[in-house]
Every structure is written in structure tokens, then in C-alpha cells.
Structure 1
Amino acid sequence: MAASSLGQTTEINWDKLDKTKFYVVGAGIFTGVTVALYPMSVIKTRLQVATKDTVEKSASSVIRGILKTDGIPGLYRGFGTVVTAAIPTRIIFLTALETTKAAAFKMVEPFKFSEPSQAALANGIAGMSASLCSQAVFVPIDVISQKLMVQGYSGHEKYNGGLDVARKIIRTDGIRGFYRGFGLSVMTYSPSSAVWWASYGSSQRVIWRLLGQGTDREGAAPSESTIMLVQATGGIIAGATASCITTPLDTIKTRLQVMSLERRSSARQVVKSLIKDDGWTGFYRGLGPRFFSMSAWGTTMILAYEYLKRLCAKDE
């Protein structure tokens, strides 16, 4: 099977999708995935904002603490806010991702790079562009949801839901309060998205070659289970790569976003505090949950996403 034939077998381009079906069915699928994996975000966020005096400093202790005080609902603090905004954010992200990826592949094709390199560049450009386009919607939701995730934890203020958070942010900071850590958010999520999609795109090509696919010789098309296994493996590799590279910036961003007006610090002060309390390892607080979260989110999301594309492909 030739490389181009393999690409046509395992990938469905943007122009081949029924867009209405893609958005409607996708909203349901991604909401379900968010329900399943959201608790990992809560645990990761709490670990990142923990101070040196906080008793709960491991993922297991955070889980026990949440279940003891709030039960299962405690693992879903801020979920309503996130799921409400997830649909428009996801639409913006996926539209930008697919349209940019198609253009990026055409842009890098004349350079005659290897197929994994072409996939890494095109997917990386698309991932970064999609993240940049969706940040304007995502960052305010991120700020509100993270404040809800850590309320009452390690001295953080308590709220009566997302609207209460929004009112207090406007009262103290105005609209700009919703964009606290926006620069760091862009610096975190855009490279993270670029690394994730670049790793995913290139690792798939490498795996296919290791399996004997993507060569010039003819052969049977891979089964759907094989395709899903390769995609899942690519998702795990991408999640591991992105989490290791971007966790320090994510820790700083999270701390800035959850601070109250009275405890406000600059990014430089947050860095100094982390080094003072835990040394350089402080920047990797929550790495375990973030690694698991990004790998689980990435693998589940990509399988759901690729399944959604197959489901919404136009009949030839």
C-alpha cells in the first residue's frame, strides 16, 4: 500500500465531511468524553495551586479530601461552566484545525520532507493555529472553572456557582479579569496543541511503517481495529510528549488564574515562590495527573474525533 493510499484510508479530509452532522453529533460525543475525564482536571488543578502548608499534596490525598468533604459532586466542580462553553470552543478549534491542516499540507509538500516530518509540520501548524483561534473563548471559561475547582482549598475563596465567580471578577478586575494569565495561556496551550498534534501526526506515520504499511508494495487495507489501535498509541505518545514539555508553564498559569485580588502576584513572583517552596520540581506539580489527563483526554478524544469523522464522511 502506498503512503498516499494509506493516508486516504486512515484520514478523512475536511472537504469530505458533512459539516452539520459533524457539529451536532460531535457536540454529544465530546460532552460525554468530558463527563468521563473531567475529574482529572480538578485533581491536577488542586495539586498545582497547593502551597507548602497544604496537607493534600498527592493525587490520592486530593481525591480522598474531595470525596470526604463534597462526595462525587466535588470532582465536578466547575463542570457546568466548562460544558456550556465547550461546544462553541470545540467548533472553533476543530474548524480551524481541519482547514489549517489542509492548507499546511499543501504548504510543506514542495519541500519534499519525509512523510512523518510533513505530518508533524502540518499537524503542528494546525494545532497551534486552532489553539490560538479558540483562546478568546476558552481563557475566560478556564479562569472561572479553575476558581470553582479550587474554592475552599488551600485558603481559596468560596463561590455560589459560575455566575457568582463572573460577578466577582467583573467587580474587582472588570472584563480584563477574565483574561488573567492570557499570555501564559497562549504560551501554554498553543505550543502544547502544536506539540500534541505534531507528535500525533508523525507518530502515526512511524507506527504504520513499523507495521509494514505505507510502503510502495500493495497489501490489504488495515482493519478498523488496527487503525484505532494506531490512533490510540499516537494519542498516548502525543499526550506524554506535550505534558512533559508544557507542565511548568501550565503550573504558573493556573496559579495566576486562581489568585484572589488580595493575593495577586506577577508571573515572576509565582516562579520565585515555586522555587522557594519546592525547588525546580515545583514547576512539575501535578505532572502525574496532567500526564494521565493529557494521555487519557488525548487518546479518548482522538478516537472519538476519528470515529466522528468516519461517521460524518460524505458518501462518495
Structure 2
Amino acid sequence: MQQNRNIQIIEWEDLDKRKFYSFGVFMTMTIRATVYPATLIRTRLQVQKGKSLYNGTFDAFFKILRAEGVRGLYRGFMVNTFTLISGQAYITTYELVRKYVSNYSKDNTVKSLVAGGAASLVAQTITVPIDVISQQLMMQGQGKHLTRFRVKVKTEADGKTKMAFGQTRNMIAQIFAADGFRGFYRGYVASLLTYIPNSAVWWPFYHFYAEQLSKMAPSDCPHLLLQAMAGPLAAATASTVTNPMDVVRARVQVEGRTSVIETFRHLLAEEGFWGMTKGLSARIISSIPTAIVMVVGYETLKRVSLRPELVDSRHW
């Protein structure tokens, strides 16, 4: 624990690991369920050509809700829950690398940057195949013409179509038949180029904003409140910096492209600079509640997971 900071940071050695992992699974699942609709909307906005289907985040939300119902906002969610594994891998890697780097540097920015990047590398290796499948499922509603694959549908008596059972298994089979095992890692490089910088930027800015807010706030202001405010600020900063690569990543994974550079050039030629901002508002909108829930959940998780002998020695 760094005693010379206004915001106390709970380090890996301060935690009861059994509590940390038990509560962590519940926290991760809650966050995923909360922000999934915004993730789906962001993906559809990034993949559509120009404004061929949706005019923006809120337009997409209401169109999907009207045409596909609440279930439409959660297409691919079940397969996406497997990212619980990558979530646990992420926080474990982050904390362990922070501890390792502290042997060489006590600078919090250095520890946060290196640990954030390393955690993202590990998590994305697990997450990309899940993302590839869930993103294809996300596009099956009104955006079904934007993807190479179509899942089975059945027509009901009133003429409406309904997704058939087993669509995840059907999608996996189609991806494997078209691209083999490599198809599940399509966009892996683009994901690394997006999420490693995003994670590496987010953590230092999170601690920076929390520290700056602590200097402006009254001394009795709860640290958790300051951290809850710092999270969205860091998320908006990181989202803005890395959005161009996120657009490229979505195009590579959904459209089946193979070259990150060619996809980037094609996007610039087709839609210009503003094409790089596609989905940015949805990304920021989704990242703000995500950051609040994640920060409050994660910091609370660490506090309830403190080793018993340390509980009374910490001021929050």
C-alpha cells in the first residue's frame, strides 16, 4: 500500500484471494449484462456503410427495440458470458504484473501502464474467439445483410421470423467451415492494437484523475465517490484515443477481412476521417456506465476482499 497518496491503492498482497475470486465472478457478470446492449449497438454502427441503417446511437437503440424487442439488444449474449473467464484472467494478470513491476519501479503510472497492457494481452487471447462469434450473432437482426453468415430462422404463423434454437452452434460451424480455426482469431492483431493501448491508457488516467479529484474534494469526501468519477473520465479518454482501431477491428472481424492496414486504408478512402469516429458516441456512452460499475464494483470487491487484519487500518 502506498501511504504517500491521497487515494489509497489496495495491492495484490493485501487481498484474501478466496473472497476476491468468489465475488469477482458475480461482479463481472453484472457488468457484462449492464453494458451489452451498448456494445451491440456500437458494433452495428461501426460495421454499417455510412448511415445505411442507423443515424446514430439513439436511433439504433429505438430501431432495434422496435423491430427486434429487448431480446434484439442481447443477441449473442449467452456466448459472450464466456468472457467471464477472460475477465478473471484480466484482473489476475493486472494485479500480478503490478506486483512484479513494483520490484523495479514504485511509480504508480509505470505500474498501471505495464500491468494494464499485459492484462489486456492475456484477456484478448481468450476473448477474441468469443467476440468473433458473438459479433456475428449481434449482426443477425436488421444488420443481417452486413455479415457473411446467416443463422437459421423459422417463420411463425403471423409471418414474422424468429431465430431458431442452436444458433450459436450453427454460427460456430459456419465460421469453421469458411475459415477454419484461424477464423476464430480473425481480427486478433486489430484487437491487440485496440485493447492493449486502451487498457494501458485507462489505468494510469484512472489513478491520475482520482488523485486530481482528491486534491479538489473536501478531506472527508469518500474515496469511492472520487474513484467512481475518475473511472468515466479515464474511459472517455481511452475510448477517444483508441476508437479508430476499434472501428478497424470490428470491420475485420465481421466482414472477414484479413489485413488491418488494408481495412484502415479502405475505411479512410470510403468514409474519410469521420469514418474513424463511427461508434465513438456509443462507445463512450457504454464506457461511462461500464467504468462506474466496474470501478465501484472492483474497488468494493477489493475492499471486501481485504485480509481481516488490514480492514481497520484503511480509510475510505
Cα contact 1:239–1:291 (8 A) shared by 2: yes
What is the CA–CA distance in structure 2 between the aligned matches of 1:252 and 1:90, rounded to whole Å? 23
Cα contact 2:144–2:150 (8 A) shared by 1: no
What is the CA–CA distance in structure 1 between the aligned matches of 2:284 and 2:29, rounded to whole Å? 21
| TM score, norm. by length of structure 1 | 0.86
Q: Which residue is equivalent to 2:215?
A: 209
What is the CA–CA distance in structure 2 between the aligned matches of 1:281 and 1:52, rounded to whole Å? 10
Identity of aligned residues (%): 33
| TM score, norm. by length of structure 2 | 0.86
Deviation at 1:298, TM superposition (A): 1.6
Q: Which residue is equivalent to 2:204?
A: 198
Match of 2:250 among 245, 251, 254: 254
Q: Which residue is equivalent to 1:182?
A: 188
Q: Which residue is equivalent to 2:267?
A: 274
Deviation at 1:125, TM superposition (A): 0.8
Per-residue CA distance 1:192-247 (angstroms, 9 max, x = gap):
0000011112222222233476xxxxxxxx45xx2111101210111011011000
My pick for the range that moved more, 61-70 or 73-82, is 61-70
Q: Which residue is equivalent to 2:157?
A: none
Residue 312 (structure 1) aligned with residue 305 (structure 2): yes
Cα contact 1:51–1:154 (8 A) shared by 2: no
Give the paired residue count: 292
Q: Which residue is equivalent to 2:224?
A: 228
Per the alignment, in what secondary structure is the counterpart of residue 267 of structure 2? helix
What is the CA–CA distance in structure 1 between the aligned matches of 2:8 and 2:134, rounded to whole Å? 36
Spell out the pairing of 1:91-170 with structure 2 (5 A cutoff): 91-109=88-106, 118-152=107-141, 153=143, 155=145, 156=147, 157-159=149-151, 160-170=166-176
My pick for the range that moved more, 156-165 or 245-254, is 156-165
What is the CA–CA distance in structure 2 between the aligned matches of 1:145 and 1:180, rounded to whole Å? 13
Task: Name structure 2 gaps, 5 residues minimum.
Answer: 152-165, 310-316
What is the CA–CA distance in structure 2 between the aligned matches of 1:39 and 1:290, rounded to whole Å? 11
**CA 212–105 in structure 1, closer or farther in 2 if over 3 Å, else same:** farther
Spell out the pairing of 1:23-62 with structure 2 (5 A cutoff): 23-52=21-50, 54-62=52-60
What is the CA–CA distance in structure 2 between the aligned matches of 1:208 and 1:76, rounded to whole Å? 38
Structure 1 segments, 4+ long, off by >4 Å, are none
What is the CA–CA distance in structure 2 between the aligned matches of 1:169 and 1:229, rounded to whole Å? 45
Q: Which residue is equivalent to 1:285?
A: 278
Match of 1:65 among 63, 66, 86: 63
Q: Which residue is equivalent to 1:78?
A: 76
Per the alignment, in what secondary structure is the counterpart of residue 107 of structure 1? coil
Deviation at 1:89, TM superposition (A): 0.8
Q: Which has the higher helix share?
A: 1
Cα contact 1:54–1:154 (8 A) shared by 2: no
